């Protein structure tokens, strides 16, 4: 795919222009790094390498291909070693055991040399033909481009829960994408330097980047049927995804100010408990202190004995609300202390550019 302004590779310098470092002198230093997590995918690795090469080489795209072997036991590492020996663009990292996709992507981002990073799966469901379209979209001024599998070739029990999940992510985070779960993503190097992946947070790269002020876009991509092996994700994925969504919402909204969440919740509980106890106090005062005098002076007829407040459920609920409010406030203070003393080196802001000094 070429455009009126030249090949896709020739446009990379306009995406992130910079000067080469000393050790890069003489090299075409603007590079696209492919990060591919691998877990028992030995049948597809050679074909994926071939397809990426067939797309990138004719388009003059300078690239490297990083395979991260996440504890495979099917001979995937031997294939990666063979590809690396045959092609200098290919390199691999092997984990001692299975640590998860987020860990694999983190290792890949740390080892990547490129100015642009592309995540894609090793199962061949992500079509490398889409690579030029990702780069063209990034050239429009975006920092992250997320894939959207419009026609997803997966079983219904994965497709429909995923739709609900995507709606929920958009509602909670404000970033409305059709397919947060898509593993086909392209982003700039500076995005990788400002986000931290662990657990199952790899699917929230656009959300984490959006929270830092980066511009996020989405393009529809061709989704292919799985040719080899089987899916590594089951029902637990949705449970973990929902819990991680709550984590992301907390980190992006209150990571630097946890007391705003815990303190607000604590004050609400405290207020509810206080109002309940105040109401019970008024009932007791009326029944035991005010009503007898009103009856004695003939201003009020005897309306019966007021039930003791000690047997009322409201007393228990009010006390529980007070205790919960106090605990939440205390946890908020502790969280603030932790953030203040352990997060000193992490910036709570993201710088897009700086002015150049006058010469």
**Strands, E assignment, the chain:** 2-3, 6-7, 32-38, 63-69, 90-94, 116-119, 144-149, 185-188, 216-221
Q: How high is the pLDDT of residue 26?
A: 33
**Structure confidence at residue 27 (pLDDT):** 33
Is the domain of 125 the same as that of 263? no
Whether the Cβ atoms of residue 149 and residue 182 lie closer than 8 Å to each other: yes
Q: Angle, to 10 degrees, between the axis of helix 258-285 and the axis of helix 313-342?
A: 160
Per-residue pLDDT of the chain (359 residues; tens, 9 = 90+): 444 445 565 555 555 544 444 444 333 457 999 999 999 999 999 999 999 999 999 988 999 999 999 989 888 999 999 999 999 999 999 998 888 888 899 889 989 999 999 999 998 989 999 999 999 999 999 999 999 988 766 666 667 777 888 888 888 888 888 888 888 999 999 999 888 887 678 888 999 999 889 999 999 998 888 777 666 555 566 677 777 777 777 777 776 677 878 888 889 998 999 999 998 888 877 766 666 665 565 555 655 555 677 778 888 899 999 999 889 888 888 877 776 666 555 555 545 555 355 55
Question: pLDDT at position 24, please?
Answer: 41
49: enclosing H helix or E strand = helix 45-56
Q: Which two tokens stand for residue 217?
A: 């876009």
Written as one string, the DSSP assignment of 183-201 is: --EEEEHHHHHH----TTG
For residue 320, being part of any structural domain is answered with: yes
CA neighbor of 245 nearest in space, from 179, 168, 160: 168
**Closest alpha carbon to 63 in 6, 7, 12:** 12
**319 and 176 in a common domain:** no
Domain assignment of residue 231, given as a range: 10-16+24-254
202, 219, 254 — which closes off a domain? 254
Residue at 206 is within a domain: yes
Same domain flag for 143 and 187 = yes
Domain match, 66 and 104 both = yes
User: Of 215, 234, 254, which residue is a domain's last?
Assistant: 254
pTM of the model: 0.71
Task: From 118, 121, 70, 100, select the one nearest 223 (Cα to Cα).
Answer: 121
Residue 350 lies in a domain: no
The pLDDT, as a whole number, for residue 128 is 93
Contact present, 170 and 191 (Cβ < 8 Å):
no
Q: CA 272 from chain center: how many Å? A: 34
Q: Quick check: is 351 in a domain? A: no
Tokens of 315: 């007393």
Residues 210 and 62 grouped into a single domain: yes
- Closest by CA position to 114, among listed 24, 175, 214, 234: 24
Residues 188, 144: Cα–Cα separation, whole Å? 7
Nearest to 90 by CA among 132, 143, 139, 38: 38
| Alpha helix positions (H), the chain | 12-15, 45-56, 76-86, 101-111, 131-138, 156-173, 189-194, 205-211, 236-254, 258-285, 291-296, 313-342
In DSSP notation, 157-172 reads HHHHHHHHHHHHHHHH
Give which of 206, 204, 42 is closest to 124, Cα–Cα: 42
Q: Residue 64 in contact with residue 92, Cβ under 8 Å?
A: no
The answer to whether residue 357 is domain-embedded is no
Strands 90-94 and 63-69: parallel
Whole-angstrom distance, CA of residue 199 vs CA of residue 30: 31
Please report whether residue 3 resides in a domain.
no
Given a contact cutoff of 8 angstroms between Cβ atoms, the answer to whether 205 and 242 are in contact is no
The pLDDT of residue 136 is 92
């Amino acid at each position: 795919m070429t455009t009126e302004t030249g090949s896709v590779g020739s446009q990379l310098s306009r995406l992130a222009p910079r000067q080469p470092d000393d050790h890069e002198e003489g090299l075409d230093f603007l590079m696209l790094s492919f990060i591919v997590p691998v877990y028992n995918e030995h049948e597809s690795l050679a074909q994926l390498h071939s397809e990426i090469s067939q797309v990138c080489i004719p388009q003059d795209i300078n690239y490297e291909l990083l395979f991260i072997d996440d504890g495979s036991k099917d001979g995937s590492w031997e294939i990666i070693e063979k590809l690396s020996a045959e092609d200098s663009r290919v390199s691999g990292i092997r984990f001692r055991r299975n640590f998860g996709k987020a860990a694999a992507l983190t290792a890949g981002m740390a080892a990547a040399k490129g100015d642009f990073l592309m995540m894609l799966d090793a199962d061949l469901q992500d079509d490398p033909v889409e690579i030029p379209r990702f780069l063209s979209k990034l050239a429009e001024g975006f920092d992250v481009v997320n894939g959207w599998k419009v026609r997803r070739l997966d079983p219904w029990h994965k497709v429909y829960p995923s739709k609900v999940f995507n709606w929920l992510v958009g509602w909670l985070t404000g970033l409305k994408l059709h397919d947060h779960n898509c593993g086909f993503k392209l982003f700039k190097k500076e995005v990788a330097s400002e986000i931290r992946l662990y657990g199952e947070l790899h699917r929230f790269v656009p959300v984490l980047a959006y929270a830092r002020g980066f511009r996020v876009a989405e393009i529809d991509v061709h989704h292919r049927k799985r040719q080899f092996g089987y899916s590594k994700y089951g029902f637990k994925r949705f449970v973990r995804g929902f819990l991680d969504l709550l984590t992301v919402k907390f980190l992006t909204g209150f990571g630097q100010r946890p007391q705003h969440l815990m303190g607000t919740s604590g004050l609400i509980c405290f207020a509810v408990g206080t109002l309940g106890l105040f109401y019970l106090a008024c009932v007791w005062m009326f029944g035991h202190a005010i009503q007898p005098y009103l009856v004695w002076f003939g201003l009020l007829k005897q309306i019966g004995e007021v039930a003791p407040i000690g047997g009322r459920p409201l007393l228990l609920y009010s006390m529980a609300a007070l205790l919960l409010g106090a605990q939440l406030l205390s946890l908020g203070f502790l969280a603030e202390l932790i953030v203040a003393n352990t997060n000193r080196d992490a910036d709570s802001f993201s710088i897009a550019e700086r002015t150049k000094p006058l010469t």
